[in-house]
Structure 1
Amino acid sequence: MIRWVMSALFVGQMYLMMAIMGIVFFPAALVSPKGARLACKTYCAWVRWTARWMVGLRTEVRGTPPTGEVLIAAKHQSFLDIILIFHAVPAGKFIMKRELMWAPVIGQYGLRIGCVPVNRGKRGEAIKKMVRDVEKGAAQPGQLIIYSQGTRIAPGVKAPYKVGTAVLYEQTGQPCVPVATNVGVFWPKRGIYRKPGLAVVEFLDTIPAGLDKDTFLARLETVVETRSNALMREAGFHVED
């Protein structure tokens, strides 16, 4: 019962602080995208710190976060992997659902730091537009983060890797850094309960540019799923081979 109460308090203060920081940093965010990025990183640090002492959820980033112009293709299990990945890289920007544009704070700050809203029903068209924006210099430089399965996937659930990541990889000509995680074991896709333990995101070896789309996507899925399964087993979650 105590863990349920602390989880509810943690979730409540997390969203309250999002609103407070959104207001406090608003002038800086208007002046420069750097101000918006500072706000987001401060919020990420706050969530990681409060998760540790309120619900016993420690967080760890493994591997080497990229600092240059790369594509980051990550496993997505909950809001926590967004926080950990963004906090770890210097200038992250996400491919995000278009609906999030209208979400308070998240939408406004997301657009300010260079996130690219995608219409799920017209994803191919949206990706082409994004690639055109990058080529024209309209998009802000940084690490472009995409969730290759398109949505949050609960631990143990299998879902295909979508071709959009391969299209971005091929058309941008950038190397890709895969990211594995086990955060869903502790922070579920839905619900308020947070389990204590060690939540990890791990930056894996870079996949060089230049592979064909099918080879790239197969390699990406293999390395991310294999390592994510290992991390989930490390966290005590049973994963079937």
Structure 2
Amino acid sequence: MTDTSANARASTSKPRPRHDGVEAPATDLVSGIPAVRHELFEAIKEAQGERPDGANMPMVGVVFRQRLGVPFEQFVTFQVLQNGVKIPNPKRKMLPFIQEYMTDQVEVVIRENGTAIAKVIDEPPIAPDMPVYQKSVWVAFLRPIRLRTRRFLKLDDHVGFTDLPAGTQPQPHWVEVLPGDTLGASPTDPVDTLAVHHAIQAWLDRTGTDLSKVVVRPASAALSSRLQQLFEVIEALPVDVAAQWQIPATVLLHLKD
């Protein structure tokens, strides 16, 4: 069956230059790894939709191609050849690219049958007297570590975590998270915010890692009275009602002043 939507995009887009036989994808973004990260992140979000467990990689690939009119590997190859971006060959497929460059944005779960599931990492909860952790750090201590794998937190420009085969040796800026460090919760389990916080703190103490490397900002000495009132309202709500609240960051920033 002909993909009429893809054909329509191709027919309405401007002519695209070619380089070494690779057609340039239609995108107005700045070239390079940030462009690949952005486009793949948007494809994952669209493929995931309302699914709490995420989207499988083939579906992400379909959505990526529908959005840009070219497969993911062709998009990456264009960035390498046309724009001189340095992405090693093994990292030009979706799953390796996510594991190398997007662990601060996307959580990948490999199921027992080998299926890879990609899930956009949710914002960690904001609680009184608790630091605001990096999203990927929060998830690294929330999710279980599969047998015969090792989990590493990557504490470099893009803080994230990655699960790799048991024989993998850590690279610079990688610090291991052991199975006993995590809560082992599934994506559908209720989150014990304080337990995750304590697990991270215990790991920081054990590994000698500085708190500043895993947080967006440290805990405030005191909350503004308006923000404290908001937390009191949330705490007074039934758990199932409070869990459905989504408060924009702009509101929280306004209340803290």
Q: TM-score, normalised by structure 2?
A: 0.26
Structure with larger RCO (C-alpha < 8 A, sep 6+): 1
Q: TM-score, normalised by structure 1?
A: 0.27
